[in-house]
């Protein structure tokens, strides 16, 4: 899937055919293989950046310099990784705050239930003390009392567990701890229940790796050609993708995907492309005039 963002922040999607990508050595590979290759590399760097940024908390400026130099990234490619990572973290933080609110509501509700049950237990206890023990319903009352006492015990355990969970979440927020599982916790825990999920370890590992490298982002800027110098959708409906520097010997500086169209939103996208072209020409004209 390919998304394109306009000034109204609308997202348009299309499916790109798995055509062949020509390499500099005159051979070719399927486009999807290249996307998988790019996504895997993108995912690895995103996870490394998460550790450096949010666990080791290294300075952002020095990280950008280090990553671009060490992993042969352009500034825009680094920004794309950082933007996607920050989006994940922001989403996780929002979910954490919602989770805290939900737990607080559950704690108050459970506290009210426990208090009511304790009142019932005290009344039943007093009723049993007032009985002689030879009544027909005595054993029934005793069993009801025992069940209520056991229910209160279980409710208190759950209540205490929620309090501990709430305290942990609040500590994480206070200490700025981000707990993020790339690939999802649900899929991660499947490795411990392979038989139940009809998976072999090899199948799970493949699914896990694919989930951890399932997407990548190309970040642009309004002052760049058609809004994005890394991934450009030109007037002839071709998508041109800027290679990582480390892949230039294999792919060249760019790969081009021809004749990409959108079933929905093509007219709006074309209008935005022409607006970008006009803006770019005006900017170039001003630059030339200034230099003269």
Indicate the SS3 state at residue 148: helix
pLDDT in tens, 120-135: 999 999 999 998 888 8
pLDDT-above-70 percentage for the chain: 92
* Three-state DSSP class for residue 4: strand
- The number of beta carbons lying within 10 Å of the beta carbon of residue 46 is 21
Spatial neighbors of 182 by CB under 8 A, at least 6 apart, are 43, 46, 47, 50, 212
Confidence of residue 291 (pLDDT cuts 50, 70, 90): low
Handedness of CA 69, 70, 76, 79 (dihedral sign): negative
pLDDT higher than 80, residue 96: yes
pLDDT in tens, 143-163: 999 999 999 999 999 999 999
The DSSP result for 110-129, as a single string, is HHHHHHHHHHHHHHHHHHHH
| Mean pLDDT score, 166-175 | 95
Place 3 in a pLDDT band, splitting at 50, 70 and 90. very low
Rounded mean pLDDT, 45-65:
94
Number of helices (H) and strands (E) in the chain: give both, helices first: 8, 7
Q: Is the pLDDT of residue 6 over 70?
A: no
Q: How far is CA 260 from CA 3, 87, 269, in A?
A: 12, 27, 12
- Which range, of 16-20, 219-223, 232-236, 269-273, averages the lowest pLDDT? 219-223
CA dihedral 128, 132, 134, 136 (to 10 degrees): -40
- Asked if 111 contacts 159 with a C-beta cutoff of 8 angstroms, the reply is yes
* Residue 2: pLDDT band with limits 50, 70, 90: very low
Residue spans per domain, the chain: 1-16+220-292, 183-213
Task: Flag whether pLDDT at 142 surpasses 90.
Answer: yes
This prediction has a pTM of: 0.79
Q: Which residue has the tokens 């007093």?
A: 126
pLDDT of residue 292: 52
Give the mean pLDDT of the chain. 89
């Amino acid at each position: 899937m390919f998304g394109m963002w306009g000034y109204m922040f609308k997202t348009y999607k299309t499916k790109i055919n798995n055509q062949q990508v020509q390499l500099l050595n005159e051979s070719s590979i399927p486009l999807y293989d290249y996307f998988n290759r790019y996504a895997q590399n993108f995912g690895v760097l995103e996870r490394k950046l998460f550790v450096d940024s949010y666990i080791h908390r290294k300075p952002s400026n020095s990280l950008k310099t280090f990553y671009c130099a060490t992993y042969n990234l352009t500034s825009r490619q680094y920004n794309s990784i950082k933007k996607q990572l920050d989006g994940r973290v922001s989403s996780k933080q929002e979910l954490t705050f919602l989770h805290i609110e939900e737990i607080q509501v559950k704690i108050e509700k459970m506290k009210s239930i426990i208090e009511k049950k304790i009142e019932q237990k005290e009344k039943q206890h007093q009723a049993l003390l007032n009985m002689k023990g030879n009544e027909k319903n005595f054993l029934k009352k005793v069993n009801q009392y025992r069940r209520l006492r056991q229910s209160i015990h279980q409710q208190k355990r759950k209540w205490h567990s929620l309090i501990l969970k709430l305290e942990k979440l609040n500590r994480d927020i206070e200490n700025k701890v981000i707990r993020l599982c790339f690939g999802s916790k649900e899929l991660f825990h499947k490795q411990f229940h392979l038989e139940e999920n009809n998976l072999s370890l090899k199948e799970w590992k493949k699914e896990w790796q694919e989930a951890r490298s399932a997407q990548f982002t190309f970040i642009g800027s309004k002052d760049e050609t058609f809004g994005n110098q890394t991934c450009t959708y030109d007037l002839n409906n071709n998508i041109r993708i800027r290679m990582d520097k480390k892949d230039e010997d294999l792919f060249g500086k760019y790969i081009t995907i021809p004749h990409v169209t959108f079933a929905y939103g093509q007219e709006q996208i074309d209008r935005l492309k022409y607006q970008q072209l006009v803006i770019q020409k005006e900017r170039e004209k001003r630059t030339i005039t200034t230099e003269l």
